[in-house]
Each structure stands twice: as structure tokens, then as C-alpha cells.
Structure 1
Amino acid sequence: MRLLFVHAHPDDEFLWTGVSIAHHVAAGDEVHVLTMTAGEEGEVIPADLAHLELPAGEERDPEGADPLAVVRHAELAAAMDVMGVASWTLLEGYRDSGMVGTASARHPRAFASAPVEEVATEVAALIERLGCDVVVTYDERGGYGHPDHIQTHRVTVAAVRELASPPRLFAVLTPRSWAVEDRAWAAAVPADRLEEWGVVPPPEPYAPELSVADDTVVTHATVDPGAVAVQARALACHRTQVRVLADDAYCLSNDVLARLSGREGFVEIDPADGRTVAGSGARRTGLEGR
């Protein structure tokens, strides 16, 4: 199979779909990754690189340099080398929009404000050139509501829709039972280990769980604990954004403990309207081509 994973920022590819990417690469499938922006507005974890992060509320000069973009581009390249994908593409011309209401959202090149059909034409050309059987992105909520994730969903759906021979289209979606199990895992981590790692358990409610749905909605899943080691090595390349704490644990700049569970859920979506394709009620293993 030929698969294309479409994401908003560097590190999203392995946070959201790292298990599936590693699994399909190991299976001998042809895996490609498209990243929409360089993540210019990302929060920076390492103290020695803190100067790359623009202070909160400050607007970037539209004509100025984006020094964090250079670093994140290099991190993305290193992570892709670790994973061994067939190709990866960083879309040009657009930048990280940041969250709703931030100064970065007003930037003239903010991805969230880009004309959907214009970007979709670029993405459709890439899908056609690669001859993709499967395309994977976020659901209509962008997983956790980030404007660039939502825009990535819109663009990807529009791109697949305009193709004469469209590939199957999937969105990342976590079964509710998995989310419950992951929360139980986090709650069981000893306090001294949390202190050692400098993290806290997920609070209630927790925004990333916007990507959670009833188990019956999730049509496909990749379950491959053996892929976690490669996923963790790739994530470790994204030093500005991720701290890999152990074989099965990581955190972002918010220091909230998260699990590398070795499994990812998906729902098939109809490119005609972006809606969920009804499943048979039985979840299928792996992403299936056309």
C-alpha cells in the first residue's frame, strides 16, 4: 500500500500516528508524510532554546525570520530518518497559526486562514503523484480543537474529494475504552516517579480527549506494541516539543504525563461531506487500501 499521513505541525505525525507509520514501514508499505506548517508558534521546552519562542502576546514581524521554524524543520528531518519513511514534505507558504485569539492567528500567512480550495489543490496534486491508496488526517474537530488541525482536516477532505480516483480517507479517533485505560495507567504511576520526571497526571477534563469517541464509532485500529520503540526514538528528535520519559511515557511543554500505548484508532470518513462512514460494528485491524 501507499499511505499518506497529513499533519499540521512537526511532531504531530508521531504523536498522533507514530505507531501506524512505524507499523506500515516495517510491513514494507510505502509511507509518506505531509506537514502543513513548520510549527513556528510551538512552545519550546529546552532552556537553551527558549530564546526561539516568541513571548506570549507578541506579534511576529510578517517579513521577519522564524528562527524556531529552522530548528523544527531539522527536528522533522531527523525524525523522518529514524522512521524510515519513503518521503516527507513540508508545505511551503503557510505558517503555524497558533491557538484561537493569539496574535499569531492574525499573521498574513497563518495556515488557518488560507483558502481551503487553494491548499487542497496542492495536496491533491501530491496525493495523485504519489498514487496513494490511503490518506490519514484528523477528524473535523482537529483532535483537540487547534485551528491548524481543523484546517488540515478541511483541506485534506477537499483534496481527496476532487480526485477522480480517490484513496480511502481516515481520521484519527481514540476509542473511549482506550482513553479510560490510559487514564488508569497514568493514575497508577507512583508519586516518586512523577516527581522524578517532573510531570503531573492528566487533569479533568483534558483537551486532547476531544478525539475520543464511543468504541462503536471507531472503524479501524493499528495495534502494535513493537512499534513504540521506533515511535519513541522519532519523538525524541522533536526536542523542542517533546520529552520522552520512558519506553511508554512522554510529555509536552505542559508537563502532563502521556502514554505511548502502542495502539491508534481511526474512523473512515467520506470525502464527499467529511462525515463518518458507518462501520459494521466490528473494528478492523490496520488501515486498508482501496
Structure 2
Amino acid sequence: MTDVAPVLFVHAHPDDETLTTGIAMAHLVSAGVPVHLLTSTLGEEGEVIPPELAHLDSAHDDALGPHRLGELRGAMAELGVTHELLGADEARGRLSRWRDSGMAGTPTAANPAAYVNASLDEAAGLVADVIRRLRPRAVVTYDAEGGYRHPDHIQTHRVTRAAVASLPEGERPSLYAVVTPMSWAREDRAWLAEHLPPDSGWALPPVDGEYPPGVVPDEVVTHAVERPDLAPRQADALRHHRTQVTVRGDTYALSNDIAARLSGREGFVRIDPVTGLPMASGEDGGYAATEDFVPRRRAEGEGPA
């Protein structure tokens, strides 16, 4: 039994945790810090990559959710992370309280059971219950844009912020949102252009093209985990999510077949749970001093620290 307070990660669907915070999770575990994952939905509306599993999707057997739960268990065992589903009720045979809403603009978001339609008070109350039970030193989730504006990611941000803000001020853990420094995003696209085999079958993201809203100016990023040595462990965990992700060496692709890099680094910004605004790296409440997340050291000319 460890006396070290855990770090709680709150994500929307299975695979989100490994894609966006797998390095941080592996880093924390390697440092002896317990990591716990709270997943909001089973990702029932996800697209399925392997043809032999296509029947699982919501248009056919609608059995993708339980299958993705199995994938999640494998990935978290790989990373050494404990996990649970938001609002799960074994007595009622309910794996999760809400259902995947689907991508923005899809009709599945109109489903009353979709997470995007969840009562903010109810969902935040359930997350707050988990926080009170675990007493984590920090909570990590998405930024206000959900990384790439997925409705469930945005809802997870709203719910998690509300949960932390609902606690007495002296009992609130530090709250972090996942973001990527623009310089990293540009470096990764340039790296892909040089290293992706031309016969990979995957498309290259344009080096000078648009970036998702989770890519932010470097000066916004207050904390980072830079552990390229842990990228193989992240890749091994991602391979469990085979309905959603294809991994090849230092690269991966989702169902859109656009290549992405496993760079071994992840950025974060500490945010105020009440306002949602970034907090300066000097206001860390002691958390950064543990070196679990460290204040990002910027290169000369990148902007203020």
C-alpha cells in the first residue's frame, strides 16, 4: 500500500488516454506515483479499423463498447494504471452511465443517453465523488476545446472543471489540461515528412496546414513530460486499442489514415477550475516540485516562462 497520492486522468473514450497522456501516465508510474483513469463513455460510436471487427460498430451489432472496454483493460495493464468507468453500476449491469455522443455534427448526439446531453450537475457530482474517494494530488483532462472539438471531450472538460470547482477550495487538487506547444506540432509534422515511408498507405499532415485547437502558442504551456524513452511503452499500450489505432514503429494512424508521430513528449497547462483560465507556472501548489509534471523549460526566443 502506497502513501503517495495518485494522479487522476479523466478522459472521454477508451484510447484517448493513451493517445494524449500515455507518456505522462507511464512517467508517473515509473516514478512510483499511482495513476488512476476515469473514462466517461465506452466509445460506442467509434469507427472500426480492422475489417474482421467491422460488425461491432453501432450500425451493425452495436457491440463496440464492451469490446473497447477489453481493449482499455489491456492498455492500462500495459501502463500499470488502474481505471474505472464514469457512473458504472455493476448491480444494474450498467458499464457506464452515458453513451458516446459521436463526432460533432452527427445525429448520434441527439440520443438522450449521449454524454453530451448529460446533466452537468449529475456528471460533475459523480466525478467529484471519485476525487473525494481517491484524494488525488492532481487531475488531468482536456482543454476547453477538447483538443479537437469532439463534443465528449468538451463535455469532459466542463464536467471535470465543475467537479473540482465544487470542492472546498482547500481540498481541490491541481487541475491540468492537455495541450501541445506549436513548436512541437511543427517539428512532428516535419519529422513525419522526412521519415514516413512513401508506401505506408497513410497521408501526411500538411507541414504548413491548420492545426487543431489543442495546439497552442508555446508560452501557454506551463508543464511538460518529455520522455522519448517511454514511447515504446506507449506504443505497446496503443496496440491494445486496435479497433481505433494502427501503430507502426514511431508512428500511428486513426481510421482517417493520417500519420501521426509518437514523439515521447506531452504538454499541459495548469488551469483554474472556476474560470478555466491558465495559471502561471509559479502557482503550482507544490505539485510541480515533485517533478511528476515539471515546469516547461523553453528554448531561448520561445516566449516567457
TM-score by length of 1: 0.90
Q: Which residue of 1 aligns with 2:257?
A: 255
Name which of 22, 32, 43 aligns with 1:39.
43
- SS in structure 2 opposite 1:71? helix
Instruction: Assess if the C-alpha contact under 8 Å between 1:134 and 1:287 holds in 2.
Output: no
- SS in structure 1 opposite 2:266? strand
What CA distance in whole angstroms lies between the structure 1 residues aligned with 2:63 and 2:116?
Answer: 21
1:74 equivalent in alignment to 2:80:
no
Cα deviations by residue, 1:202-225 (Å, 9 ceiling, x for unpaired): 146455x31111111100000011
- C-alpha displacement at 1:229, in angstroms? 1.2
- C-alpha displacement at 1:70, in angstroms? 1.2
Q: Which residue of 2 aligns with 1:150?
A: 154
What CA distance in whole angstroms lies between the structure 1 residues aligned with 2:210 and 2:273?
Answer: 29
The one-letter amino acid of 2:264's match is G
Instruction: Assess if the C-alpha contact under 8 Å between 2:99 and 2:114 holds in 1.
Output: yes
Q: Which residue of 2 aligns with 1:90?
A: 85
Q: Which residue of 2 aligns with 1:4?
A: 8
- The RMSD of aligned alpha carbons is 1.7
Runs of 4+ in 1 over 4 A off after TM superposition: none
Matches within 5 A, 1:152-167: 152-164=156-168, 165-167=171-173
Q: Which residue of 2 aligns with 1:210?
A: 213
- SS in structure 2 opposite 1:4? strand
- C-alpha displacement at 1:286, in angstroms? 4.1
Cα deviations by residue, 1:211-256 (Å, 9 ceiling, x for unpaired): 111111100000011111111110000010000111x111111110
TM-score by length of 2: 0.85
Name which of 17, 22, 25 aligns with 1:18.
22
Unmatched tracts of structure 1, length 5 or more:
none
- SS in structure 2 opposite 1:238? coil
The one-letter amino acid of 1:221's match is A
What CA distance in whole angstroms lies between the structure 1 residues aligned with 2:69 and 2:192?
Answer: 31
The one-letter amino acid of 1:88's match is H
Q: Which residue of 2 aligns with 1:101?
A: 105
Name which of 188, 211, 216 aligns with 2:194.
188
The one-letter amino acid of 1:174's match is T
Name the structure, 1 or 2, with higher relative contact order (CA <8 Å, separation 6+). Answer: 1
The one-letter amino acid of 2:132's match is E
- SS in structure 2 opposite 1:88? strand
The one-letter amino acid of 2:126's match is E
Unmatched tracts of structure 2, length 5 or more:
87-95, 283-287, 295-305
Cα deviations by residue, 1:256-277 (Å, 9 ceiling, x for unpaired): 0100000000000001111111
What CA distance in whole angstroms lies between the structure 2 residues aligned with 1:201 and 1:163?
Answer: 44
Cα deviations by residue, 1:85-125 (Å, 9 ceiling, x for unpaired): 1x201122101001222121111110011111110000011
Instruction: Assess if the C-alpha contact under 8 Å between 1:217 and 1:279 holds in 2.
Output: no
Query: CA 1:206–1:42 in 2, change beyond 3 Å: closer, same or farther?
Result: farther
Q: Which residue of 1 aligns with 2:174?
A: 168
Instruction: Assess if the C-alpha contact under 8 Å between 2:31 and 2:292 holds in 1.
Output: no
- C-alpha displacement at 1:163, in angstroms? 1.3
Instruction: Assess if the C-alpha contact under 8 Å between 2:104 and 2:151 holds in 1.
Output: yes
